[in-house]
Amino acid sequence: MCSPNIGKPQSNQPTLSLKGIVVMEVFFLVLIMTGLIVALILVCIREIKLTPEQRARRTLRRLKARGSHNYGSNSPAMICPHCQTKGTVRTEWITQKKGISGGKATSAILTGGLSLLATGLSRKEDHIEAHCNNCGMTWVI
C-alpha cells in the first residue's frame, strides 16, 4: 500500500506551531498596545487634572527649554521688580484659557444652566507676561 502521506511531513504539526507563534505574537502585540493605551489614558488623566495655570506654566517651561520663546518686545521704561534693573524687561500679551470653575459649575446647577449660557464654559483671560533678561525672572501682570 502506498499512502499519499508518505514522504510528506505531517502538515498539521508545523502549521499548528506556526499558528501558536502567530497567536503568541498577536497576544504580545495586544499586550503592548494595551499598555500603550493605558499609559496614554494615564497621561490624559494627568493632563485633565492640571489647572490652567499649571498647564500654562508647563508650556512656558517647555518653550523656554526650546529657546523659542522670546517674551515679546523690550519695554525700555519698565523696571524689573525683582532686580530693579531698567530696560531689561520684555513683555508680551498672552491668553490663558480658563476652564469651567467650581463656582460657575455650582451656579449653573442652581440656575439650571442659564448662567453657563451667559458666561460660557471656558473663558479666555489676557495677561501681560513679563520676563527680565537680567535676572531671568518671568511673571504675569
Query: Which positions touch Zn ion (CB under 5 A)?
Result: 80, 82-83, 132, 134-135
* Minimum distance from residue 69 beta carbon to Zn ion (Å): 17
Residue closer to Zn ion, measured from CB, 108 or 132: 132
Nearest approach in angstroms of CB 90 to Zn ion is 11
Question: Coil, helix or strand for 140?
Answer: strand
Nearer Cβ to Zn ion (42/83): 83
Q: For residue 78, give the nearest of 91, 65, 67 by alpha carbon.
A: 91
* 3-class state of residue 61 by DSSP: helix
Angle at 107 between CA 104 and CA 113, to 5 degrees: 95
- Of 116 and 135, CB closest to Zn ion: 135
Backbone φ and ψ for 96, nearest 5 degrees, come out as: -105, 125
| Distance of closest approach, residue 87 Cβ to Zn ion, in angstroms | 11
